[in-house]
Structure 1
Amino acid sequence: MRRRAALSFIVACTLSACAHQQTPAALPGMAWSLHEVEGEGAKLAFGQPQSDNVVLMLSCAPRSGEVRVSANASPGARPELELSSGSRSARYPAEVAPGLGESVLVEAVATARDPVLQRFADSGDLAIAVNGRRTPVPGDKAKAKQFLTTCRA
């Protein structure tokens, strides 16, 4: 599952990996999309619709209680990822793996009941930081709540 999620994210970032050398910024027209594929679990991605330009991907196996957070970053990224929503924030140890082009893939695991993800489900607002570069993403409360409900054990 871990390799499949990483591969899915790398494929989704094919175009953006070449264009963005750091955690990409949210651009006008970007939105959340929610997908659940049998055998792959639920995926909540923020990026440009109908494209491979993905800023952030959250994935989980249904009712696993774990959420994998993935973002692409520049080479030399620290093995740490920070999520924040409203007044809540949390830092997670991460794995850094080669991505496509010059980018790297930064992945961390959170629990679906972490306070920052609870706040995300309540508000839809979330920001991610890699190497200290914070990228806020506009909210979609309905998709955030549906995704986290699927993930909770």
Structure 2
Amino acid sequence: MRVLWLPVLASAALVSACASVETPEPVATAAASAPAPVPGYDWHYTPEAGAARLAYGVEESDDLRLGLDCMAGTGKIELTVLAGTGQREIQLESGGETERYRAEGEPSELHDGDILTATAASREPVMQRFRRLGWIAQWIDGEREVYAPHPGSENGVERFFALCG
């Protein structure tokens, strides 16, 4: 007789365990919100006679994480980054859009590694998402560095793209 009660008890325990489980609340994902700015680093917009530069780094220093340059109305953006010696690719991501750029490199005289340059089109999805969101990330050696603006500097991102075309 004891053997017959074992399946009944197991079923009762299972039903009771299922009845006590609450439906989890939806959790907001990190992608749903803008990344936080990094103290000391920001976007710096510099217009100059038919051209513009948008640089992420420490103002008035050699500490540049990502530089974007363009001539007015061309729709072409020259990317500049610091990278490890021998690397020849720049990988950018913004709001789920990603792009890899084949880059030229030369040794840096100020930092260990190379200075990479590549050309991007302002109409590419990753660039348009950057324009809308105001932040972009760079993947370096499998690590993601996010470049988010401090309040007020996101206007420079829009001004850069408006000038570039």
Q: Scaled by the length of structure 1, what TM-score is found? A: 0.74
1:46 aligned partner: 56
| Aligned equivalent of 1:110 | 120
Q: Which residue pairs with 2:160 in the alignment?
A: 147
Query: 1:92 is matched with which residue?
Result: 101
Mapping of residues 62-141 of structure 1, within 5 Å: 62-77=72-87, 79-100=88-109, 101-139=111-149, 140-141=153-154
Equivalent position SS for 2:112: coil
Judge which range, 118-127 or 93-102, deviates more. 93-102
Cα RMSD after superposing both structures = 1.8
SS at match of 1:45: strand
Q: Which residue of 2 aligns with 1:18?
A: none
1:27 to partner: Cα distance: 4.9
* 1:88-130 C-alpha deviation (Å, 9 max, x unpaired): 1111111111211532011111101111110111010100124
Q: CA deviation at 1:132?
A: 3.3
Deviation at 1:28, TM superposition (A): 2.0
Separation in structure 2 between the aligned mates of residue 102 and residue 53 of structure 1, nearest angstrom: 12
Amino acid at match of 1:80: E
Question: What is the identity, as a one-letter code, of the residue corresponding to 2:156?
Answer: K
> Is the 1:80–1:130 contact (alpha carbons within 8 Å) kept by the matching residues of 2?
no
TM-score computed with the length of structure 2 as normaliser: 0.69
3-state SS in 2 of match to 1:148: helix
Unaligned runs of 5+ in 1: 1-25
Larger Rg: 2
Gaps in structure 2 of 5+ consecutive residues:
1-36
Counterparts of 1:99 and 1:53 in 2: how far apart (Å)?
Answer: 12
